[in-house]
Amino acid sequence: MIDALRLTAEEAKKLLDAREISGAELFAAYAERDDDLHAFLYRCDDPGGDGIPIALKDVIGTKGVPTTAGSKILESYLPVYDATVAANCKRHGLRLLGKTNTDEFAMGSSTENSAFGPSRNPWDPARVPGGSGGGSAAAVSGGLAPWALGSDTGGSIKQPSALCGNVGLRPTYGTVSRFGVVAFASSLDQVGPVAKNVRDCAYLYSIIAGRDANDTTTVEVPEVELPTAQDLKGMRIGVPTEMNEADGIEPGVSAAVRKAIELAESLGAEVGECSLPRSVDYGVACYYLVAPAEASSNLARYDGARYGLRSDGDDFREMVMATRHDGLGDEPKRRIMIGTYALSSGYYDAYYGKAQRVRTMIRREHAEVFEKFDLIVSPTSPTVAFAIGEKAGNPLAMYLNDLLTIPSCMAGLPGLNIPCGLSEGLPVGLQLIGPQFAENTLFRAGHALEQALGFDVVPERLR
Amino acid sequence: MSETWEPVIGLEIHVQLKTETKMFCRCRNGFGGGPNTQTCPVCLAFPGALPVPNRRAIEEAIKLGLALDCTIAARAVFHRKNYFYPDNPKAYQISQYDEPLCSNGRLAVPTADGDVTIGITRAHLEEDAAKNVHVAASGRLHGATATLVDFNRCGTPLIEIVTEPDIHDADTAKRFLQLLRQTVVELDLSDAELEKGSMRFDVNVSVRPAGSGELRTRTELKNMNSFNFAAKGIEREIARQIGIYEAGGEVQQETLHFVPGEEDSPPIRSKEEAQDYRYFPEPDLVPVHPPAALVERLRAEIGELPGARIGRIADTLSFYDADVLVTGGLDRLWSALVGAGADAKEAANVLSNQFVAAGVDPGTVNAAELAKLVAARAEIPRAAFDEALSKAGDAGFAAGPYLEQKLVADAGELDPVIERVIAASPGQAEQFRSGKEGLLGFFVGQVMKETGGKADPRIVNERVRAKLSGT
Ligand SMILES: [Zn+2]
């Protein structure tokens, strides 16, 4: 019997290599489970072979397999080409289980903005799995996939992993190709792995990372090292005050994170306080100018002319307006309006221009901290998973959920979420942030902590 | 009129590069494919598609920038220009905004009164739009009911060149455009053919009281697809604006669209809409940092530019001859002819008249052989000379056979023909003798006709006059 809830990709590979299970059995172990979490928007048939199955967030273009980005406007869209990351997965024999749910165009923190309805948290189906990559996180923790790919703009990998109790990496900007990934905010979007443990996460990262001639913002990356160390000797860990004592961090979340920090010290890490005052103060505001500005331009191509939904209109303009009225949900519309405003002549300098300058400042502030520390830690999300519907009517409250993930995204830095305990029976995520290209450091620290924490990734109600 | 009003003219020119592939994808760049056959997810703006700049196009833009004496930016940035239009599938055009590849250049335009230097504000790279075809229920018509889009041209590389408003008359504007075109063609960047649209230009025109230095409301002239017409259109627009001011009116800011092929009819006017393109740096592309070594290599590849050659050749010939030879792409052949011993003026005349009419590519001509013909032009029948020119570009072309067709200059051979011609028209002969000198041409013409053009006209003239006068 294959334990889809617990089996890691590494263990699955061992079983396959030893011919203890067949590729078909492994695929079926996930594919035949009931998706009562609504983690998937589309599930695939077994393409055959004996690679490890994988789920991809529905913003990742897959040739011949529907790719909607959670939007009605792309409901009928069938890509004619694979995203580079999807092609990399194929090249490594990974078999596509399906496309996971996402907030529309990855805009949201709960998957409630999906045009096709929210996903549910495997720990408590009345709660959200986080977002925007809630589908991938729910699939991995709900035994519907051994691992998955998500995409992260302001926390869309790390935050769902925190809320679902698994491991998620937002890689350094430029290490993973965005080619073929439905764009939200080009200067922030990064694809990354979601897995049951840090070693799987590192391995999946090694499959997708590297320079891609089709994405000129990508670079060569250092060779990925699968972590083995059990200690944190010599590791200098910074604890940014503002990110650990921010208003709105639930006491249970604080407590679990504090415990994990103490554990890190006992594993040999040198722990010290540090400060990122302006990054935390201005990060969210700055993000909600830069990301919508880019989104307003990136989403303008959905005009009904070449693919996807088309609503009738008397002329081109009318057709475009009707298509976008019918095809886009409230959140994309809201962000398109904010972004269009921020880029308008007369407002550009005050909004987009200034936000870019603040972004440079955030980058510098982080760089200074990393002169003294190898990585910094904080809660990933200020809260545990909240109830479906609880914040849906309050976009601002929803935006603040990303308070702790956004600053490092704005700085282009890698961040890893690992589960570090429970609060009110729900997982708490620990965020580890490193300097550019420090993925190996994050993996090493994350793995050592994971071993010492002994967190059981299988949701209690499913054990 | 021109003593009280000074025209102020600025140009914006688009040149289509003839690179193998498009600006940001690897689709073929070129005419000929069926509609929408030269397309891919990138130039059709499919979800997730990303641009990758064409290195060759960047190099060519730098080269043109160098030829225009521009500063080549150490860091150039692509921007998005956002607008909705069916020929613009991403709903933004990737262009350049405040950090263009080339800026602050100049082009010296030789004129009969010396060089006029026109400032080049900038030269930058961008992508072309698709082609919209407006159709009715059947066939193409005005008052169309549908628009079809051919994306083959979408995303092909363009260089946009913007001048300073340094031009003050239509003739200089025309000369600038001709010289720029010749420069682009010689750098081998573009066909720069106006009829094919591979070179397009817009003209901004305003007028001001002479010597005032102010900049008044300008109008934009679009769709003028010949240099001569541009000069005519500019002149008409200058006169119109002066007329408005002198009648106490105000010039309105508007765009004048000329209809190609119907350039004598009045242009279609449209108010300039205040468009907000929401420019911002293209986040899908990293800034371009042209290495100094590359810039120097490109600089070294640039030969003597046409403007300089006009100046040099004008020292030998007249400015007008030099201008015609260089902007017609004929001056290198002219130099070769002169080098091979042809008379400079004679060679220039032959090239800018009969040779152009023969339609032969000057690059294919054996100059040494052609020089022999030019030298012997007066001694060969006209028909033979023209035939020789039309074959001058053929492989193995030799002057010899044509030179052998010497004109008949022997009086002994010509006299019987002349006598016969005079005898056939006794009335005209009488009139000539009584003072109607103009009739000489009539008899010479008859003789030339009788001899099949092979008689030497100089000798025929002499002998006809002698025979008629009875000497
Ligand atoms: Zn293409």
State phi, psi for B266 to the nearest 5 degrees.
Answer: -65, 145
Residue A364, both tokens? 């510098």
Asked whether the predicted pLDDT for residue A13 surpasses 70, the reply is yes
- Does the CA dihedral A270-A273-A279-A282 come out positive or negative? positive
Neighbouring-strand partners of residue B10: B204
Give the orientation angle of helix B306-314 with respect to helix B170-186, to 10 degrees.
Answer: 110
Please indicate whether, in this complex, the C-beta atoms of A343 and B84 are within 8 angstroms of each other.
Answer: no
8 Å CB contact between B93 and B80: yes
Nearest-angstrom CA–CA distance, A81 and B40: 10
Nearest-angstrom CA–CA distance, B89 and A320: 12
Asked whether the predicted pLDDT for residue A67 surpasses 50, the reply is yes
Total CB pairs under 8 A between chain A and B: 98
As a whole-number percent, the residues of chain A with pLDDT over 70 amount to: 100
Contacts of A24 (CB under 8 A, 6+ apart): A46, A48
Question: What is the structure's pLDDT at B1?
Answer: 45
Q: Which long-range contacts (CB under 8 A, 24 or more apart) does A284-288 make?
A: A284/A399, A284/A400, A284/A402, A284/A403, A284/A406, A285/A355, A286/A355, A286/A358, A286/A359, A286/A362, A286/A410, A287/A154, A287/A188, A287/A402, A287/A406, A287/A409, A287/A410, A288/A338, A288/A399
A344 contact B CB<8A = yes
CA B201 distance to own-chain centroid:
12
8 Å CB contact between B206 and B221: no
As a residue count, chain A comes to: 463
Choose among B356, B390, B361, B357: nearest CA to B373. B390
Nearest-angstrom CA–CA distance, A388 and A253: 19
8 Å CB contact between A119 and A101: yes
**CA B31 to ligand 1 centroid distance, Å:** 14
Nearest-angstrom CA–CA distance, B76 and B53: 12
pLDDT digits over A281-296, tens only?
999 999 999 999 999 9
Please indicate whether, in this complex, the C-beta atoms of A83 and B85 are within 8 angstroms of each other.
Answer: no
Please indicate whether, in this complex, the C-beta atoms of A306 and B86 are within 8 angstroms of each other.
Answer: no
8 Å CB contact between A342 and A351: yes
Question: What is the structure's pLDDT at B471?
Answer: 55
pLDDT digits over A121-130, tens only?
999 999 999 9
Q: Where are the domains of chain A?
A: 9-278+360-462, 280-356
**CA B145 to ligand 1 centroid distance, Å:** 28
pLDDT digits over B333-351, tens only?
999 999 999 999 999 999 9
Choose among A227, A208, A210: nearest CA to A57. A208
Contacts of A317 in chain B (CB under 8 A): 84
Question: What is the structure's pLDDT at B401?
Answer: 84
Contacts of A80 in chain B (CB under 8 A): 41, 46
Neighbouring-strand partners of residue A69: none
Domains of chain B, start order: 5-298 (no CATH), 411-469 (1.10.10.410)
Neighbouring-strand partners of residue B57: none
Q: Which helix (H) or strand (E) holds B437?
A: none
Of B48, B82, B279, the CB nearest to A180: B48
pLDDT digits over A310-365, tens only?
999 988 999 999 999 999 999 999 999 999 999 998 899 999 999 999 999 999 99
**Distance of residue B100 Cα from the nearest chain A Cα, in angstroms:** 18
Task: Return the ∠ at Cα B414 (arms to B413 and B416), rounded to 5°.
Answer: 90
pLDDT digits over A32-43, tens only?
999 999 999 999
**Distance of residue A269 Cα from the nearest chain B Cα, in angstroms:** 37
Asked whether the predicted pLDDT for residue A257 surpasses 80, the reply is yes
Nearest-angstrom CA–CA distance, B372 and B244: 58
B52 contact A CB<8A = yes
- Does the CA dihedral A338-B43-A72-B285 come out positive or negative? negative
Contacts of B51 in chain A (CB under 8 A): 216
Upstream peptide bond of B198 is cis (omega within 30 degrees of 0): no
Please indicate whether, in this complex, the C-beta atoms of A74 and B286 are within 8 angstroms of each other.
Answer: no
**Distance of residue B142 Cα from the nearest chain A Cα, in angstroms:** 16
Block mean pLDDT (10 aa), chain B, length 471: 82 97 96 90 98 98 98 98 95 97 97 93 98 72 74 97 96 96 96 93 96 91 89 93 94 87 76 85 97 97 94 91 92 93 92 88 90 85 84 88 78 85 88 87 88 82 84 55
8 Å CB contact between A96 and A47: yes
Exposure class string for A26-43: b at 16+ Cβ within 10 A, else e: bbebbbebebebbbbbbb
**Distance of residue A267 Cα from the nearest chain B Cα, in angstroms:** 41
**CA B152 to ligand 1 centroid distance, Å:** 8
Residue A108, both tokens? 């949201």
Question: What is the structure's pLDDT at B263?
Answer: 67
**Distance of residue B12 Cα from the nearest chain A Cα, in angstroms:** 22
Exposure class string for A88-115: b at 16+ Cβ within 10 A, else e: bbbeeebbbbbbbbbbbbbbbbbbbbbb
Please indicate whether, in this complex, the C-beta atoms of B283 and A305 are within 8 angstroms of each other.
Answer: no
Active site residues of A: 57, 132, 156
8 Å CB contact between A331 and A392: no
Nearest-angstrom CA–CA distance, A149 and A140: 10
As a whole-number percent, the residues of chain B with pLDDT over 90 amount to: 62
As a whole-number percent, the residues of chain A with pLDDT over 90 amount to: 96
A80 contact B CB<8A = yes
B92 contact A CB<8A = yes
How many Cα atoms are found within 13 Å in the side-chain-facing hemisphere of B370? 30
Residue A131 DSSP SS3: coil
B284 contact A CB<8A = yes
* Preferred mutation among A190, A306, A317 to probe B, highest tally of B CBs within 10 A: A306
CATH for A9-278+360-462 (1.10.645.10, 3.40.50.300, 3.30.565.10, 3.90.1300.10) = 3.90.1300.10
Nearest-angstrom CA–CA distance, A244 and B70: 53
A317 contact B CB<8A = yes
8 Å CB contact between A71 and A105: yes
Question: What is the structure's pLDDT at B455?
Answer: 82
Mean pLDDT rounded to a whole number for chain A: 97
Nearest-angstrom CA–CA distance, B471 and B467: 6
